[in-house]
Structure 1
Amino acid sequence: MISSLKERRTIRKYLNKDIDEQLLNELLETAFRAPTTQNMQVYSVVITREQENKEKLAPAHFNQPTVTSAPVVLTFCADFNRFIKWCEQNHAEPGYDNFQSFVTAAIDALLVAQQFCTVAEISGLGCCYLGTTTYNAPQIAEILHLPKFVIPITTLTVGYPADIPAQIERLPIGAILHHEAYQDYTPEAIHRLYFEKENLAENKKYIEENHKENLAQVFTDVRSPRKDNELFSKTFLDFIVKQGFRLPD
């Protein structure tokens, strides 16, 4: 099992084969055993199977082909709507319209998403995380009819792999682990830890195609520039407030 997890790959292309509903439900029930803050389970999952609805979601995910080609699209949401309603019906005063509660629900949703991804891959399925979910959360919420206190956090496309792509590189373990306390990075350490990543053939190709001096500039100027980050930040924060969560003053 450890070997299987170490060999995992993101799968974006799927066979034209549906996922049995019983299997999908079993995988989701297994995912719902993931840890959750105070056992509140403040998350929900929206299943999208109908092609028409996948096509509605696609623009919110920048029309990535994996959205419309996958047999199943799962949107994992931070959801305090259900819990607040339960509190109010039982004459308990909920205090969950705040940023801390949103973060709690977002963490719960991500824990469940990752547990689903793990059990799905063990079962022979492939998954692809869509980081675009928070970029266009208002659009996704409208399509999925998400009420107050429900916010989309991440999306998984799921299906049987059409092929097995090459594994994406990762930083060495020494780049990430800190023993007992955080040890900040010297310029020499940064150079050493990113050297292999920077010198992979595919990354050198990205540098050349984007007419940049190095891989860092591909990220800062092309993949994730400041103007995009600030635009998506404002959109998402405004939506969090619109959905009922108050940000700190």
Structure 2
Amino acid sequence: MEILKQRRTIRKYQQKDISPDLLNDLLDSAFRASTVGNMQVYSVIVTRDADRKAKLAPAHFNQPMVQTAPVVLTFCIDLRRFSKWCEQRKAIPGYNNLEWFVTGSVDALLAAQTFCVAAEEKGLGICYLGTTTYNPQMIIEALELPELVFPITTVTVGWPAEEPAQVDRLPLEAIIHEETYHDYTPDDIDRLYAYKESLSENKQFILENNKETLAQVFTDVRYKKEDNEVMSENLWNVMKKQGF
């Protein structure tokens, strides 16, 4: 529990390898995660090669940890393997649809998070790359992913070379709803976001971006509506190209 409560994202790594035995043991543990129907409709691409990392880097906006981490793990929805098994056993698969894209996402993310907890317990540091679904076609090309295989999240892994401060989290009452969903009043919103808005680093973000509120930094700078719509359309188109 203390490891979970004290965890932090690590973006800087020692130039020290992760042994194949340790990595495989962690992945083997991760693959015990819950999975719909015990089908395990996911695959993980392990990238150690520097040239391959360099091919992946542009898809992740050249964030430095993609090339400096000893290992990059791309967790993929994989309906290809299970569909092939069905076809070879005289069964007709029907998994090339949105329902199973979502199911594969859930399976892959459960495995990814279980891996991260196991890795951190061993002293490794991890960083999730939320950019995976921004440029999926670039990752598909770099990793040569076939039809019905789709990248859903990426995790960089290595021995930490930093100990950054923990970032803030919303209080429990902001997220937990007893029995049914209880909508937020304006007073609730003010109270629940007060601490986040009070932090000096967040006040600095507002100044640096010439905005009035922290929310505007998110909506006008970090995750703009027009960007979200372009990426959504691209995601949908790439999903279809991959056979979903």
TM-score by length of 2: 0.99
1:154 and 1:102 mapped to 2: Cα distance? 13
Q: Distance in 1 between matches of 2:97 and 2:58?
A: 30
2:188 corresponds in structure 1 to 189
Q: CA–CA distance in 1 between the matches of 2:202 and 2:127?
A: 21
Determine the C-alpha separation between the residues in 1 that align with 2:170 and 2:40.
Answer: 33
Shift of 1:234: 0.6
Is 1:235 the counterpart of 2:231 in the alignment? Answer: no
Q: Residue 96 of structure 1 aligns with which residue? A: 95
Cα displacement (A) at 1:3: 1.1
**CA RMSD across the alignment:** 0.5
* Structure 1 SS opposite 2:131: coil
**Aligned residue number for residue 213 of structure 1:** 212
Q: 1:244, 1:103 → 2: CA distance?
A: 14
What is residue 138 of structure 1 aligned with on the other side? 137
Q: Which residue matches 2:203?
A: 204
Look up the equivalent residue of 2:112 and give its one-letter code: A
Could you report, residue by residue, the CA deviation over 1:129-164 in whole angstroms, capped at 9, with x for unpaired residues? 000000000110011000000000000000000011
Match of 1:8 in 2: 7
* Distance in 2 of aligned mates of 1:180 and 1:41: 31
Matched, 1:117 2:116: yes
* Offset of residue 227 of structure 1: 0.9
Q: Match of 2:38? A: 39
- Give the TM-score normalised by the residue count of structure 1: 0.97
Match of 1:154 in 2: 153
Identity percentage of aligned residues: 62
| Structure 1 unaligned blocks of 5 or more | none
- How far residue 72 of structure 1 moved from its aligned partner, in angstroms, is 0.2
Q: Kindly report structure 1 stretches of 4+ aligned residues shifted beyond 2 Å.
A: none
Structure 2 residue ranges without an equivalent (≥5): none
The corresponding residue for 1:223 is: 222
Hey, what does 2:65 align to over in structure 1?
A: 66
What is the total number of aligned residue pairs between the two structures? 244
Q: Deviations over 1:45-73 (max 9, x none)?
A: 00000111111100000000010100000
